[in-house]
Amino acid sequence: MNTFLVRIDALHQGRASLEARCKLINDILDGTTGTFNYVHPSLIDTKSNLNTDVIKEICVICSVESLHFETKRVFLDQLLLKRRNAIAHGQQEFIHEAGMNDLVADILALMQHFRTLLENKVYQKQYAA
């Protein structure tokens, strides 16, 4: 990534030849020199409603697989988000006490899965150029 940044800065400063500019573009497209993996915090936007589509976008930004979250679409979008929105808008939403432990366990499992995806990326140094 640092080599890209130096080369982009040179391009910005007008010091790069046409040949160097074309090579930079080709290197970026080919992915042979390095990769951009810095995730600027402003890219992560839950849009106030963390549904499956938003989670998939966050996974794309973080370069992690989103399939597991897609398989949990009904749980995330219908059960969890629908209830959250109902409560947020003042509607009564009853959750049986017996189901509360399962709900919390499912939420924590999804959070742990996402954390594991990110930790694996770090462990395998897939963030590095």
The domain in which residue 91 lies consists of: 41-123
Global pTM reads: 0.64
- Our CA dihedral for 88, 89, 94, 99, rounded to 10 degrees, sits at -30
What distance in Å separates the CA atoms of residue 87 and residue 80, rounded to the nearest whole number?
11
Q: Residue 6 corresponds to which tokens in the numbers above?
A: 């130096």
Indicate if 46 and 26 belong to the same structural domain. no
pLDDT digit string (tens) for 67-114?
A: 999 999 999 999 888 888 888 889 988 878 888 889 899 999 999 999
What distance in Å separates the CA atoms of residue 106 and residue 86, rounded to the nearest whole number?
20
Q: Residue 78 corresponds to which tokens in the numbers above?
A: 């219908």
Q: In this structure, is residue 128 part of a structural domain?
A: no
Indicate if 88 and 115 belong to the same structural domain. yes
pLDDT digit string (tens) for 10-50?
A: 776 777 776 777 777 777 777 755 555 556 566 666 777 78
Q: Residue 97 corresponds to which tokens in the numbers above?
A: 């006490």
Indicate if 76 and 23 belong to the same structural domain. no
Contact 126, 37 (CB under 8 A): yes
Indicate if 31 and 86 belong to the same structural domain. no
Indicate if 57 and 86 belong to the same structural domain. yes
pLDDT interval class at 52 (50, 70, 90): very high
What distance in Å separates the CA atoms of residue 79 and residue 61, rounded to the nearest whole number?
26
Q: Residue 117 corresponds to which tokens in the numbers above?
A: 């995806």
| DSSP line for 16-54 | --HHHHHHHHHHHHHT-S-------GGG---TTS--HHH
Indicate if 45 and 66 belong to the same structural domain. yes
